[in-house]
């Protein structure tokens, strides 16, 4: 529309939430995407981007709230990107997440939306995470009340907390958080106080210098174990300084069971290390899912919401209609959490994973649980599958009755999808944390399979993210 221009202020009513979490309003039928708005709100907006088929705007003022509005429970809401939907009732969150799955399947994949069941809620909507990553920065983002004060007397060159959305280098000091646990926030605050007094500087993204980089807190929700992982710059180890911090933190928080220090040689802001040492404790924590116990080291991937993961794995077992006679292939198996969960219910599980360290963890978890009917193999998944499908190569056992695939957000490689169809198991269960890439993968599988069930799972309450489990049967 020619009448809409950049910088223009308009009064609109928000209609719905789009996939990804943005809200949608319309001006004479022209779509305007908005950040941080809710269906039913009447708002004043300013257009900051205009394209041929839509515009983007920011909310300047909320004129009226919908009847379903709820008051956010965290003081950081509004500038923290962690829980964007705190002001949306949880029942409405589940509704919109299901709608987004339907939208992706019908618009992108041509799959009927009526097979999408109601979203399964997370057993907990707060304090459900078992891992949080916090960033050190030399550029602290000021809280709104700090901006208003004229006599600001505090350090602007030190922060430990979370990134502010839309900024790559500014971090605000987290003072409370309802995602992991109250103790994890206390650990964060004590590490911040101690490191701020240290002569060593926080890492600067712009200058690519400084020592302190990341703090990761991992918890075993069912075991009560806590792992603190400190990641620093790799130029100098400063082990005495790190050891002093570890001693101080362990003295303040006796519940910490292990402290790990890693040196990062990367320029990229990724909370992983290239050289790791265990300062104290075993170097890992343990978690329990179902009847299985898992070791989780500093760099291991593990489901972030263990309460929701248990429900998800129960659904996978239910979708598989397992009788105890099946051979199951677990693609993108990671540390073997799905494989170990279903192992007592099947004849054999064969796991395929690209990351060798994850496969080593999977074998260790089998030993820990006394499970003998699982094997895991590292390498390019499509090549492993083709080798496994060759009857003359018997190390994998028989052709699978069921294939379970739980790929990363990017989805399955097209060659992996093709290998699934060539092998042709009776059933496929696809697990996905990204409805758009799931739709792409399903569109390929529909050449030989038909969708029986689609069940969304909410693993991340108060966010737009949604997980899905899909059951496909081979067309006879």
In order of their start, the domains of the chain are: 9-64 (2.40.50.140), 102-124+305-474 (3.40.50.150), 131-289 (2.40.50.1070)
Provide the pLDDT confidence category of residue 1 given band limits of 50, 70 and 90: low
Q: 152-175: b or e for each residue (b if 16 or more CB lie within 10 Å)?
A: eeeeeebbbbbbbeeeeebbbbbe
pLDDT for res 66: 92
pLDDT at 148: 67
Q: Over the chain, what is the mean pLDDT?
A: 91
Question: What pLDDT, on a 0 to 100 scale, did the predictor assign at position 152?
Answer: 53
Model confidence over 150-189: pLDDT tens digits?
A: 545 567 889 999 998 878 788 999 999 999 999 999 999 9
User: How many Å apart are CA 445 and CA 461, to the nearest integer?
Assistant: 30
Question: Which residue, chain included where needed, has tokens 């022209």?
Answer: 30
Q: Can you give the pLDDT at residue 15?
A: 94
At residue 52, the pLDDT reads: 84
- pLDDT tier for residue 95 given thresholds of 50, 70 and 90: very high
User: 300 in the Ramachandran plot: left (φ > 0), alpha (ψ -120 to 50) or beta?
Assistant: beta
**Which residues have a catalytic role annotated?**
433
The fraction of the chain above a pLDDT of 70, given in percent, is: 95
Across residues 78-105, what is the average pLDDT?
92
More reliable by pLDDT, 352 or 78: 352
Residue 300's pLDDT is: 85
Render the burial of 307-321: b for 16+ CB within 10 Å, e for the rest: bbbbbbbebbbebbe
Evaluate if residue 294 carries a pLDDT over 60: yes
Structure tokens, 119: 């979203």
**pLDDT score at 272:** 87
* Residue 374 pLDDT: 95
pLDDT of amino acid 227? 97
| pLDDT value for 276 | 93
Burial class (CB in 10 A: 0-12, 13-18, 19+), 428: buried
Indicate the pLDDT class of residue 77, thresholds 50, 70 and 90: very high
Residue of 191, 298, 185 lying closest to 244 (CA atoms): 191
Which residue would you say has higher pLDDT here, 397 or 466?
466
Residue reference for tokens 């779509």: 31
| 246: DSSP letter | H
Q: What is the pLDDT of residue 266?
A: 86
Model pLDDT, residue 150: 56
224: left (phi over 0), alpha (psi -120 to 50) or beta: left
Asked whether residue 202 carries a pLDDT value surpassing 70, the answer given is: yes
Query: For the segment 66-76, what is each residue's pLDDT rounded down to a tens digit?
Result: 988 999 999 99
Residue 395 has pLDDT above 60, yes or no: no
The tens digit of pLDDT for each residue in 433-460 reads 999 999 999 999 999 999 999 999 999 9
Does residue 248 register a pLDDT over 70? yes
Per-residue pLDDT of 327-374, as tens digits, reads: 999 999 998 999 999 999 999 999 999 888 889 889 999 999 999 999
Q: What's the angle, vertex CA 302, arms to CA 120 and CA 293, rounded to 5?
A: 95
């Amino acid at each position: 529309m020619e009448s809409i221009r950049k910088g223009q202020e308009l009064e609109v009513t928000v209609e719905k939430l789009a996939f990804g979490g943005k809200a949608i309003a319309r001006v004479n039928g022209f779509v305007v995407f908005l950040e941080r708005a809710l269906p039913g709100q009447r708002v004043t907006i300013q257009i900051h981007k205009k394209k041929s088929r839509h515009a983007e705007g920011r909310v300047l003022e909320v004129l009226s709230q919908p009847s379903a509005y709820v008051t956010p429970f965290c003081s950081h809401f509004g500038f923290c990107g962690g829980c964007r939907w705190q002001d949306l009732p949880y029942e409405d969150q589940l509704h919109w997440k299901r709608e987004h799955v339907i939208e992706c399947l019908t618009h992108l994949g041509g799959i009927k939306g009526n097979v999408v069941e109601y979203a399964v809620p997370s057993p907990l909507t707060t304090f459900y995470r078992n891992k949080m990553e916090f960033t050190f920065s030399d550029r602290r983002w000021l809280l709104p009340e700090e901006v208003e004060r004229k006599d600001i007397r505090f350090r602007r060159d030190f922060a430990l907390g979370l990134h502010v959305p839309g900024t790559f280098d500014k971090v605000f000091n987290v003072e409370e958080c309802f995602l992991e646990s109250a103790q994890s926030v206390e650990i964060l605050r004590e590490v911040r106080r101690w490191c701020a007094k240290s002569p060593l500087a926080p890492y600067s993204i712009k200058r690519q210098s400084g020592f302190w980089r990341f703090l990761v807190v991992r918890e075993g929700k069912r075991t009560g174990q806590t792992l603190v992982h400190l990641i620093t710059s790799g130029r100098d180890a400063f082990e005495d300084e790190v050891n002093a911090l570890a001693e101080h933190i362990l003295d303040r928080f006796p519940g910490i069971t292990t402290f790990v220090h890693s040196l990062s040689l990367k320029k990229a802001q990724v909370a992983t290390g290239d050289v790791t040492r265990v300062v104290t404790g075993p170097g890992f924590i343990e978690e329990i899912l179902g009847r299985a116990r898992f070791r989780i080291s500093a760099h291991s991937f593990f489901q972030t919401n263990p309460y929701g993961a248990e429900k998800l794995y129960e659904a996978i077992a239910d979708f598989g209609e397992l009788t105890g006679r099946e051979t199951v292939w677990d693609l993108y198996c990671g540390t073997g959490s799905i494989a170990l969960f279903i192992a007592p219910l099947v004849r054999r599980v064969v796991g395929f994973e690209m990351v060798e360290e994850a496969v080593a963890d999977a074998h260790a978890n089998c030993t820990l649980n006394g499970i003998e009917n699982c094997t895991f193999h590292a390498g390019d998944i499509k090549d492993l599958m083709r080798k496994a499908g060759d009857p003359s190569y018997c190390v994998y056992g028989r052709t699978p009755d069921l294939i379970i695939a739980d790929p990363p957000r990017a989805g399955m490689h097209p060659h992996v999808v093709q290998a699934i169809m060539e092998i042709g198991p009776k059933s496929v269960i696809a697990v996905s944390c990204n409805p758009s890439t799931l739709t792409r993968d399903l569109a390929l599988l529909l050449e030989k399979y038909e969708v029986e069930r689609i069940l969304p799972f909410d693993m991340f309450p108060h966010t737009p993210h949604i997980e899905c489990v899909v059951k496909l049967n081979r067309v006879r």
